[in-house]
Amino acid sequence: MAMRMTGMMSGLDTESIIQELVAAKQKKVDVKKKEQTRLDWKQEVWKELNSKLKKLQTKFLSNMRFKDSYSKKTTKVSNSNAVSVITGENAVNGVQTLEVKKVAKTAYLTGGVIGGGTGGFSALSTLKGVTGGFTGSKTITVTKDGTALDIDVTEDTTISDLLTKLKDDAGLNATFDAKNQRFFVSSPNSGEKNSFDFTGDSGVLLALGLKTDPADPTGETVTDNKYATKTKGQDAVILLNGAEFTSDNNTFEVNGLTITALDKTTAPVTITTQQDTDGIYDMIKNFLKEYNEVVNEMDKLYNADRAKGYEPLTEEEKDAMSEKEVEKWEQKIKDSVLRRDDNLSAVNSALQSVMASGIDVNGKTMYLYDFGIETLEYFAAADNERHAYHIAGDPDDEATMNKEDTLKGMIANDPDTVINFFSKLGMNLYDKMSEMSKSVDGYRSFGNFYDDKKMKSDYDDYTSKIAEMERKVTEYEDKWYRKFSKMETALAKMQSNMNAVSGLLGG
């Protein structure tokens, strides 16, 4: 870089002169920077629109093109407090009757108060202390589903040790409530086969509160709190159309239905399985909502007002404006970057063309309007919403809510025709979008609807060109500084010589 001397000898404002000389070249650099910024904004707008197009294809059309996505059924029950039903794809339409005779129960034992009610025992207390003199070893037998398991204990076995053996060896849930001085034991699963019994040394079982009252071996009626109270495991039993089914966990899978018994019934429950017409309607409605949002966005971008006289701002220009003014200025440009964009027009037109095309359904060509789905008349539609579709009778659509709901009627009376039409429409749209977003070497990445590779390449070219132009501007600026520096040096030398001559002449 040249040494930059001010015009001390010449009296010239060399800084201003040089900046004026450089300004023309710097303006060309600024023009390139603005072009690059505009391209960057164009990429941002396309990225956002591209995401919406992908969502339409992958979230909606990807499912909509398959008939199975529409084949949803629903089941209604007359008593939801007694039974709940999940409908599978293979469920048969029709009305059935169901009775819940028993609900499944989990085997449970609430122990009597341990140690004869002397109290003060904790998880670390030994069986010797609990039994008041127990020595040696004893065996407690747990019987489950006809299988006996022996648990050996000694006088040094603690309550905590016993709980661990009940859990790990016998597979039971077991806790000790120190506050109430009782064991609580249960099976991890419901059902009759998961019932359990304790047998063994009568004295040890009684001291631990695990013995049932001899007067009531079932343990269901207890009058003395030193004895355990028991609830036996029980299977659920239902009658479906008169046929009996049992389950150990209240859940039954029968002919495509998953039935869960919740409570015993006193009267038959009606189960009605039918086509989920609301589900089909909602699927179509949600697709159209997403499609309309995308096509309206494309129309808005394509028909945007011109941003004549608006260019991206330099840093100096931004400094002269408020943040709000800068934001408003830049948004005006961003809104217009895809105005009359050929690529945008191609994508938009392709989608509209598929939506307007006829589809063969059982030898008959049908259109969206056959299902009560149409765009509004030109002057009835808002700006940039003239290609959006509306469902006649849609209660959420003010423009068509008072019309007859053709779509719902057709779903109820002829669901196969509706499913055939919209699955084919979904397939056509999906295939067209796949074709438009296929990879183009050097121009487009797979899955994108715009030339992202080309835009990035152009952006990088701008970066290189701007760097080269700025280098040349700096060289040009340095050249003028060198020239003015030489002039100042020459004038200084001349002034020095004149002073010397004047001194010799006695001036």
Task: Please state, in angstroms and rounded to a whole number, the distance separating the CA atoms of residues 17 and 421.
Answer: 75
Residue 170: exposed, middle, or buried by beta-carbon count in 10 A (0-12, 13-18, 19+)? buried
> Is 235 in a helix, a strand, or coil?
coil
Q: Name residues whose C-beta falls within 8 Å of residue 85's C-beta, 6 or more positions apart in sequence.
A: 75, 77, 257, 258, 259, 260, 271
Other C-beta atoms lying within 10 Å of the C-beta of residue 403: 15
Which residue blocks in 103-143 are alpha helix, DSSP H? 127-131
Reference 163, options 124, 202, 116, 190; nearest CA is 124
Buried b (16+ CB within 10 A) or exposed e, 37-48: bbbebbbebbee
> Which residue(s) pair with 293 in the sheet?
none
| Cβ atoms of residues 258 and 88 within 8 Å | yes
Contact (Cβ atoms closer than 8 angstroms) between residue 421 and residue 280: no
Q: Which of 238, 23, 224, 211 is nearest to 109 (CA)?
A: 211
**What is the helix (H) or strand (E) element at residue 358, kind and residue range?**
none
The neighbour count for residue 96, using CB atoms within 10 Å, is 20
- Nearest Cα residue to 301 out of 313, 293, 309: 293
Non-local CB neighbours of 56 within 8 Å, separated by 6+ positions: 290, 291, 294, 433
In whole angstroms, what is the distance from residue 387 CA to residue 271 CA?
Answer: 44
Would you give per-residue pLDDT tens digits along the chain (507 residues)?
A: 444 555 555 556 677 777 787 788 888 998 999 999 999 999 999 999 999 999 999 999 999 999 988 878 899 999 999 999 999 878 888 999 999 999 999 999 999 999 988 889 999 999 999 998 788 899 999 999 889 999 999 999 999 999 999 999 999 999 999 999 999 999 999 999 999 999 999 999 999 999 998 888 777 776 789 999 999 999 999 999 999 999 999 999 999 999 999 999 999 999 999 888 888 999 999 999 999 999 999 999 999 999 999 999 998 899 999 999 999 999 999 999 999 999 999 999 999 999 999 999 999 999 999 999 999 999 999 999 999 999 999 999 999 999 999 999 999 899 999 999 999 999 999 999 999 999 998 999 999 999 999 999 999 999 999 999 889 888 877 787 778 777 777 777 776 677 666 666 665
CA distances 455 to 44, 271, 443, 445, 452, Å, are 11, 60, 8, 11, 5
DSSP secondary structure of 381-449? SPTT-TT-EEETT-TT-TTTTTS--HHHHHHHH-HHHHHHHHHHHHHHHHHHHHHHTS-BTTTB-TT-S
